[in-house]
């Protein structure tokens, strides 16, 4: 549906609503005949189209202007003030035209009999509609800004995560070649076996490093293979202990996390026949723990910062659960959270399904329900007070109908939003519109 057709429908609906309110207030909706009803209806539609389109044009002009970030209140004030001025001018022109061309009254007579009271109804209707329109407009802008912010956050997080993963490839190859260099001098036979095993290990690195998560069983198998490489170099100076399989086959960890922790244990501790390094991998409270006896080297090479820091940063981008470090006098342990898609994973790969966000939706629904109840309470308290003020000041013009009607429409929309659930304009519709908006944003980048 084109924008012009939408505008025609909107102005027609507004004209019908204003016709209903105006007729109820002026003559109690009592017409002598169908001809009088039709003439009044046409006049109201004329007012609606002229005032509606002039205000829409003004709103488009305001939207095209360059506004600073903190100019929201200024934008609303100027928008409402401009609409009032445009409405006054439009009402004057329409009333003058109808008086002269339909009723045959001269312009001088029209000016003489014209009073400000003749414009009160039009001004109140305009203010009510403009306020509601501004509310809807800025609410939509707020939702769109939230979507853009989430896109930026998601894009930044994805780029950061990819950068962390890309550190693993050259880091692993560099350290493995260092081990191979040492073996060539110490044990050429093992160096040959190490080269063959390294090709298999490096294939796993290439396959898994681009994944966000891998199963614990896959990591345990890889850790076992990597341990065999370390055993070729250190022989009986290093002792490993690890489970055959994870207790939960669905549990996952970040890829190459065990390899980095094993590498760090060897790098930062003495590994000799007199002081063998004991490394134990086990499960504890839904964590995969890598623990070793602490026998720190006196002189340690400068760290590249890829190991433990890399693991912690990748977990931070995936889940709220944290990597825990427990260093004691004789031991050092790192606990890796074992994640499941249902309960802990915040980010997923492109092929995985969307997250179960029922808790988030439930909390949002409770907040909206609470806001609706507050609005109902405010409505019940404020509207009778306005009626009392209207009655005590001047009952000849019952202006309380306008805030009561306008606010009532807002409450009806709010109630529909709160209680509609996943039906029309509910969560499903919201999700589809967000996806549609993001596709439009993506397409605009290429045009």
Segment 96-107 shows an average pLDDT of 89
Q: Which range among 10-14, 139-143, 232-236, 328-332 has the greatest average pLDDT?
A: 328-332
187: helix, strand or coil: coil
- Looking at CATH, the fold of the domain delimited by 153-337 is given as Heat Shock Protein 90 (3.30.565)
Q: Model's pTM, two decimal places?
A: 0.43
Give the residue-averaged pLDDT of 135-163: 61
Question: Region 347-366: what's the mean pLDDT?
Answer: 50
Q: How far is CA 208 from CA 205, 218, 321, 345, in A?
A: 5, 10, 22, 18
* pLDDT at position 433 over 80: no
334: confidence class by pLDDT, cuts 50, 70, 90: very high
- 138: pLDDT confidence band, cut at 50, 70 and 90? confident
pLDDT at position 291, please? 95
DSSP string, 39-63: HHHHHHHHHHHHHHHHHHHHHHHHH
Task: Decide: 55 and 134 in contact? Cβ < 8 Å.
Answer: no
Residues near 242 by Cβ (< 8 Å), separated by ≥ 6?
220, 223, 224, 227, 280, 281, 282
Strands (E), 376-443: none
Say what the pLDDT of residue 365 is.
Answer: 66
CA pair distance 132, 155, nearest whole angstrom? 34
Q: Please tell me what DSSP assigns to residue 31.
A: -
Region 180-208: what's the mean pLDDT? 73
pLDDT at 360: 59
Quote the tokens at residue 48: 């609606």
Burial of 111 (0-12, 13-18, 19+ CB in 10 A): exposed
Give the whole-angstrom CA distance, residue 427 versus residue 422: 5
Using alpha carbons only, give the angle 10, 14, 18 rounded to the nearest 5 degrees.
175
Q: Give the pLDDT of residue 356.
A: 41
- Please give the share of the chain, as a percent, with pLDDT higher than 70: 74
Distance (Å) of CA 102 to CA 97, 99, 188, 254, 358: 8, 6, 109, 80, 62
Work out the pLDDT band at 344, boundaries 50, 70, 90: very low
Interatomic CA distance for residues 315 and 321, integer angstroms:
8
- Reported as a single tens digit per residue, the pLDDT across 391-400 is 777 777 888 8
pLDDT, tens digit (0-9, with 9 covering 90-100), for 274-314: 889 999 999 998 999 999 999 888 765 555 545 678 788 77
Identify whether the C-beta of residue 280 lies closer than 8 Å to the C-beta of residue 293.
no
Residue 381 has pLDDT above 90, yes or no: no
Q: Is 80 exceeded by the pLDDT of residue 27?
A: no
Task: Provide, rounded to the nearest whole percent, the portion of the chain with pLDDT above 90.
Answer: 11
- Report the length, in residues, of the chain: 447
pLDDT in tens, 199-218: 777 777 677 666 778 899 98
**Residue 20: its H or E element:** helix 3-27
Per-residue confidence (pLDDT) for residue 168, from 0 to 100 = 46
Consecutive H or E run containing 345: none
Strands (E), 3-161: none
């Amino acid at each position: 549906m084109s924008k012009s057709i939408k505008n025609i429908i909107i102005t027609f609906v507004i004209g019908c609503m204003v016709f209903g309110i105006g007729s109820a207030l002026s003559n109690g909706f009592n017409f002598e005949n169908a001809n009088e009803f039709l003439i009044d209806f046409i006049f109201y539609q004329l007012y609606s189209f002229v005032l509606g389109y002039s205000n829409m044009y003004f709103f488009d002009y305001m939207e095209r202007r360059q506004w600073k970030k903190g100019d929201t209140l200024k934008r609303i004030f100027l928008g409402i003030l401009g609409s009032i001025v445009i409405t006054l001018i439009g009402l004057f022109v329409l009333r003058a035209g109808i008086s002269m061309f339909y009723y045959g009254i001269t312009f001088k007579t029209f000016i003489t009999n014209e009073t400000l009271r003749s414009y009160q109804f039009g001004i109140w209707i305009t203010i009510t509609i403009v306020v509601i329109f501004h509310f809807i407009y800025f609410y939509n802008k707020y939702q769109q800004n939230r979507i853009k912010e989430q896109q930026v956050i998601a894009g930044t997080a994805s780029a950061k995560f990819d950068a962390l993963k890309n550190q693993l490839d050259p880091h692993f190859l560099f350290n493995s070649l260092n081990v191979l260099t040492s073996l060539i001098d110490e044990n050429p036979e093992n160096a040959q076996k190490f080269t063959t095993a390294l090709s298999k290990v490096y294939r796993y690195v290439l396959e898994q490093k681009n994944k966000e998560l891998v199963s614990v069983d896959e990591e345990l198998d890889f850790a076992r293979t990597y341990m065999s490489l370390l055993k070729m170099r250190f022989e009986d100076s290093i002792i490993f202990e690890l489970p055959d399989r994870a207790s939960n086959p669905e549990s996952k960890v970040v890829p190459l996390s065990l390899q980095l922790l094993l590498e760090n244990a060897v790098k930062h501790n003495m590994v000799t026949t007199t002081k063998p390094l004991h490394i134990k991998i086990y499960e504890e409270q839904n964590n995969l723990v890598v623990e070793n006896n602490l026998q720190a080297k006196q002189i340690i090479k400068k760290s590249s910062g890829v190991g433990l820091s890399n693991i912690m940063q990748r977990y931070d981008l995936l889940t709220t659960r944290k990597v825990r470090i427990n260093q004691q006098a004789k031991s050092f342990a790192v606990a890796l959270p074992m994640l499941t898609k249902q309960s802990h994973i915040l980010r997923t790969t492109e092929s995985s399904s969307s997250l179960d966000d029922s808790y988030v939706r439930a909390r949002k629904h409770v907040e909206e329900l609470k806001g609706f109840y507050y609005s109902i309470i405010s409505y019940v308290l404020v509207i009778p007070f306005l009626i009392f003020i209207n009655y005590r000041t001047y009952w000849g013009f019952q202006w309380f109908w306008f805030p009561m009607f306008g606010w009532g429409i807002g409450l009806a929309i709010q109630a529909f939003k709160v209680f509609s659930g996943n039906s029309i304009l509910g969560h499903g519709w919201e999700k589809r519109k967000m996806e549609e908006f993001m596709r439009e944003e993506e397409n605009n980048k290429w045009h």
